């Protein structure tokens, strides 16, 4: 058998070749989630241009972001669409002062997280960021029937159409109308009835005025009578003088 030197060399080369093994690097842990930003959420959803502008003007958007990142209660926003704002009477927003615009937007924000499963168990009126929820101020009531959820302010009735965003901390729900609060757009509260003490004071004042008027009337009457007697005496004196002169 003939020895094949080339074959032997090839086998030797293959056996002595060093094999390099690549060690896989461990995957990096994901970074912390980005802080919630209500403006970016609405921008991504589109059709909320007017609400985004009002969030910016009133700084309510910044307040929501700050509260979300520093509170465990969460928040809920009822977001009117651009069409909802367009349906308002012309000049409605422009007629409001900066403070009133702030109150209007705060009225759309609930300082707690509300899931869709909680709609039927909520107690009315809902507490909004606008403050006082009594009648003639900022009452907001929710009613639920089947799959339909309605909101009423005493001025307007709106429908919750669909969730825009929810993450367990922030819930954003689209509504078909701007929520107009009683304090800004409703009738003014009736004037308070006067207290019994006030009524007594008015009667006493009226009585004093009547007494003064009566006294003045009597004094005027006495002066008129005295004047008549003085004139009567003067006429008698003149007549007596004429008679004595001609006699």
pLDDT tens column, 61-73: 999 999 998 888 8
| Lowest-confidence segment of 58-72, 124-138, 180-194, 203-217 by average pLDDT | 203-217
Mean pLDDT of 187-195: 78
Q: Does the pLDDT at position 103 exceed 60?
A: yes
Neighbours of 48 (CB within 10 A): 25
Predicted confidence band of residue 6 (pLDDT cuts 50, 70, 90)? low
What structural domains and CATH numbers belong to the chain?
Answer: 38-185 (2.30.180.10)
**Higher per-residue pLDDT: 247 or 96:** 96
Query: What are the E-state strand segments in the chain?
Result: 75-80, 109-110, 141-145, 148-152, 157-166, 170-175
Structure tokens at 15: 């056996």
Which phi and psi angles does 244 have, rounded to 5°?
A: -65, -35
Contact status, residue 168 vs residue 116, Cβ threshold 8 Å? no
| Lowest-confidence segment of 122-126, 166-170, 190-194 by average pLDDT | 190-194
What's the rounded Cα separation, in Å, for the pair 137 and 93?
18
End-to-end distance of the chain based on CA atoms, in angstroms? 205
**Higher per-residue pLDDT: 96 or 15:** 96
* pLDDT the model gives residue 126: 97
């Amino acid at each position: 058998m003939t020895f094949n030197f080339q074959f032997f060399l090839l086998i030797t080369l293959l056996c002595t070749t060093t094999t390099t093994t690549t060690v896989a690097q461990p995957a990096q842990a994901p970074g912390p989630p980005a802080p919630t930003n209500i403006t970016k959420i609405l921008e991504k959803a589109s059709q909320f241009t007017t609400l985004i502008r009002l969030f910016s003007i009133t700084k309510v958007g910044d307040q929501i972001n700050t509260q979300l990142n520093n509170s465990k209660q969460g928040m809920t926003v009822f977001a009117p669409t651009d069409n909802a704002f367009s349906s308002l009477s012309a000049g409605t927003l422009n007629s409001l002062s900066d403070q009133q615009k702030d109150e209007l937007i705060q009225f759309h924000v609930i300082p707690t997280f509300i899931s869709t499963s909680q709609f039927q168990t909520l107690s009315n009126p809902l507490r909004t960021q606008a403050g006082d929820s009594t009648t003639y101020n900022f009452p907001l009531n929710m009613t639920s029937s089947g799959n339909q959820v309605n909101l009423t302010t005493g001025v307007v009735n709106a429908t919750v159409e669909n969730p825009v965003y929810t993450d367990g901390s922030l819930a954003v729900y689209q509504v078909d109308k701007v929520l107009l609060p009683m304090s800004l757009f409703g009738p003014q509260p009736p004037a308070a009835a006067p207290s019994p003490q006030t009524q007594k004071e008015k009667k006493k004042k009226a009585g004093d005025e009547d007494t003064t008027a009566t006294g003045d009337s009597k004094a005027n009457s006495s002066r008129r009578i005295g004047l008549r007697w003085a004139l009567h005496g003067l006429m008698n004196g003149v007549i007596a003088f004429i008679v004595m002169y001609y006699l």
